[in-house]
A and B are shown apart, each in its own frame.
Chain A
Amino acid sequence: MRIKDDTVMAAPVQAVWSVISDPERVLGYMSGVTRWAIAGDIPAGLGARYRMLFRIGAAEVGGLIEVVEFSAPYEFAWTSITGLDQRGRWRLREAPGGRTKVELRLAYGIAGAGISGWVAEHIAAPSVSRHVRQTLRQLGRLVEHEQLRERAARRRAGARGS
C-alpha cells in the first residue's frame, strides 16, 4: 500500500530539513509514532538505524529501519530491515516566496501474508493516511512557529542595536 501527501510550509527548505533530519525531534511531530530510538553507532545521516514503532489498531507495528538516502536538504528516505516491510521518503522542494513544498511518502505491507495481508493493508490505510496528513500539519506548525520566533528574536535584537 502506498500513501502520500504534501503541503507547502512558510519556511525555507533548510529550516524544514533541520527538523526532519534530527532523530531527537521525530516524536514531536510524527503522528502515531510511539518510538524512534537510535539503534547503532550512527545517530543521523546515511546508514543511521532506528527502532521505530507506529500505533495502528491493536498493535504497535514497525521494527528496525535504515536511512538509505540522505541528500541534504532535499531527500530523506528509509527502508525496513526487520518487522513491517516499509519504505518512507521526505521530499523537500523550494517553492515561491521562500516557502517549501514538503511531501511525505509511505509504502508498507507484509510480504507473504496473502489475502489477510492485503485486507489488513487496506483496513489500515485510512488510519495511516490520517497520520500522514496529521504529521505534515504538525511539522508545518512546528517549523512555521520556529520561523516566527526566529524573526521575532531578530527584530528584538535589531531594536536593541538601534
Chain B
Amino acid sequence: MAQADTTRSSRRNGHEPAAAVDDPGASPPRSSSLVDKAWRGLGGIVQRRIPRADLDERDPDFIREQLPLFWLFSSIWFRGEVRGLGNIPDEGPVLLVGNHSGGNMIPDTMVFTVAFSTYFGVERAFYQLAHNLVLSIPGLSWLRKFGKVAASPNNARKALSSGAALLVYPGGDYEVHRPSWQGNRVDFGGRKGFIHLALEQEVPIVPVVAIGGQETALFLTRGERLARLLALDRLLRLKVLPISLSLPWIVNVGDFGHIPLPAKITIETLPAIDLRAEFGPDPDVDEIYDHLMRLMQDALDALAAERRFPVLG
C-alpha cells in the first residue's frame, strides 16, 4: 500500500516512479525485516510530503516582502556579490545552470535568488528546482512561494514552457556535498539531462558559476557508500549521506541543517548560449557538456584566483 501511495504521489509531483526500479545500483527488495519496513515507511512519508508541483504557488508579493530579510543575510553574512546579470536575456524562458555548493543550506541559491529578484523585479517568473527532501521538510513550505519546485524533468518543462527563467543545479546533492578541498571544482557527476531539456524547449543556457559555498562548513565526505548501505537512494532519492564538521553539531551526519560560516559568496553569470546557433541544428550532447564544463571551470578558476583567504574571500 505504501508503495502504491509512493507511486501515486511521485506522479502527482512530476516524477517518474520507475527510477528506483531501473537503478542497477539499488539493493534487491527485502520485505521481511522490520528495519526495511521502517525505511519503506519513511520513504513513503517523504514521498507523500513532496508538494504538488504548482507553478501558481510562486507569490511575487511574498517574495517582495521577504527580500529585505534575505538581502540582509546575503549582504552582511555572505557579503554576496553577483556579477553579469545583464547576460541573462531580459525576457523569455531561459535555463540557468549553476554549480552547487554549501550543503543543504544552499547559500549560493539564496544569494542568487535575491540578486535575480531585485535585478529583474519579482514580477518576472523565476523558478528553482529543489531536491524532494528539501521540499518535504516541515516548516519549509514558504520555499514554494519563492518559486522552488521539486526537481524533475516534467516540472522543468512546465516552468520553461510557461516562459519563466529556471535555475537548475545538475550536480544536485552529489555536487553540493563534495569535500571542501574540492570546493573549486565544477562537478555535475556526468548529468546531462539539462542539455536535452534546453534543446527540447529551445531555450538558451546561461551558466551561473559560484564560489564560497563550500567554505561555509568543513565538508568531509559525500558518504555515498553509507547512503547505498542504508538504501537511501531507493527510498529518498538520496545518493549521499554527507558528513561534515559544522555548527552547532560539530560532527554533522546527513546535514539536516547547520549554521553556515559567513563565507563570502561570489557569483558570476556568463553570457547566454544558444545551443543550436553554436553547435548546429543537431548538436552532440557530449560536446555541449564538455564545452560547458570547460567554460564553467575556467570561470570558477578565475574566481578562485581572486580569493586570498578561505571564508574571508
User: A residues within 8 Å of B by Cβ?
Assistant: 53, 56-64, 82-84, 110, 112-114, 116-117, 119-121, 123
Contacts and interface: CB of A to CB of B under 8 A. Distances in A.
Contacts of A121: 68
Contact of B119 (A53, A64, A113, A117): A53
Contacts of B111: 58
A119 B76 CA distance: 12
Most interface-central of B66, B69, B71 (chain A CB within 10 A): B71
A58 B114 contact: yes
B246 to A, nearest CB: 22
Contacts of B310: none
Contacts of B119: 53, 59-60
Nearest to A62: B118
B74 interface: yes
B121 interface: yes
Q: Binding site of B, secondary structure by majority: helix, strand, loop or mixed? A: helix
B64 interface: yes
Nearest to A118: B68
Contacts of B66: 113, 116
B121 A83 contact: yes
B65 interface: yes
Contacts of B64: 110, 112-113
B81 A58 contact: yes
Contacts of A59: 71, 74-75, 80, 82, 114-115, 118-119
6 contacts: A58-B78, A59-B115, A83-B121, A113-B64, A117-B65, A120-B69
B74 A57 contact: yes
Given A58-B81, A114-B65, A120 B71 contact: yes
B49 interface: no
B123 A112 contact: no
Nearest to A53: B119
A57 B69 CA distance: 13
A58 B78 CA distance: 9
A70 B64 CA distance: 30
Contacts of A53: 118-119
B216 to A, nearest CB: 15
Contact of A60 (B74, B78, B115, B123): B115
